[in-house]
Amino acid sequence: MIAAHFEVVRVLNHCGARALTKHFPNYPNKYVTGYLAKSLGKKSRRDTLKFHHQYLAEHLGGSFYEQILRRRPVLWSETIEGDCYAVSLSFNPRWHSEGDVSITFDKNEIPLYELAFSIVPGALFGCATGAAIFVGRVQGRKGQADEIRDAMRTCHRIKTPHLLMIAVQSIANALSITTVCGVRTEEQLAKTPQDDDFFFDYDTFWETFQDNKKRSSVYEISVPFGEKPLEQLKTKYRNRARLKRRLKNEIAASIGAAFAINFVTRRPR
């Protein structure tokens, strides 16, 4: 057990995560308790933590965590109807057990919604791909329900969790990852009693994606995400759908380009 833990520390120290361990000395111990999904055993948690950092070290610059700790790099921003909306990357020191990287959606620099993810070995969750993006948390900020609804209205009624998943898809494309694993509700670590401002039904959310497969602890979703053909929508909804998809494509292109330029050192094989 001691040797296995020292291996985790060694990996973190040589994988660009030194900035994390410097600011948060207990970070290497995170696998000892809950990490990503309730059913993961300690060895799986430990191996997954190493995999995440080794994968990022291989494909991203060594300053990735230093950058997201020092500032929140903005991947997309746009002023709509006088309000500035943005998507940024960060590390959440309070909730990182549900994912080592956070994507946040802001309105006028006020966080409204957050998604947390880690890079995991696909086989651990029954996926055929070598690596997958594991989404372990999708959560709106408590007390911001009105602002979240207003933001959805302004952004052509794109629901904020789906907007954050646009960022996940763009990051996956930049890293040549073709699978997203979405945690199931019963496996989510911080599941809370149902509350309109706080509770998130993960199973229902993942089932809104066209190509999803239910696994024991996750939903497996293929990248890029599929969409229903416009011809299958009622005529009165098609113009709205076109506007939503146009904005989604613009956001995806901006996020993908910003992530690749700022962080990706080479394309994965």
- The three-state DSSP-derived secondary structure of the chain is CHHHHHHHHHHHHCCCCHHHHHHCCCHHHHHHCCECECCCCHHHHHHHHHHHHHHHHHHECCCHHHHHHHCCCEEEEEEECCEEEEEEEECCCCCHHHCCEEEEEEECCEEEEEEEEEEEEHHHHCCCCCEEEEEEEEEECCCCHHHHHHHHHHCCCCCHHHHHHHHHHHHHHHCCCCEEEEECHHHCCCCCCCCCCCCCCHHHHHCCCCCEEECCCEEEEECCCCCCCHHHCCHHHHHHHHHHHHHHHHHHHHHHHHHHHHCECCCCC
Give 124-146 pLDDT, tens digit per residue. 999 988 999 999 999 998 889 99
Q: What pTM, to 2 d.p., does this model score?
A: 0.92
Give 175-209 pLDDT, tens digit per residue. 999 999 999 999 999 865 444 445 789 999 999 99
In order of start, what are the domains of the chain with their CATH numbers?
A: 73-262 (3.40.630)
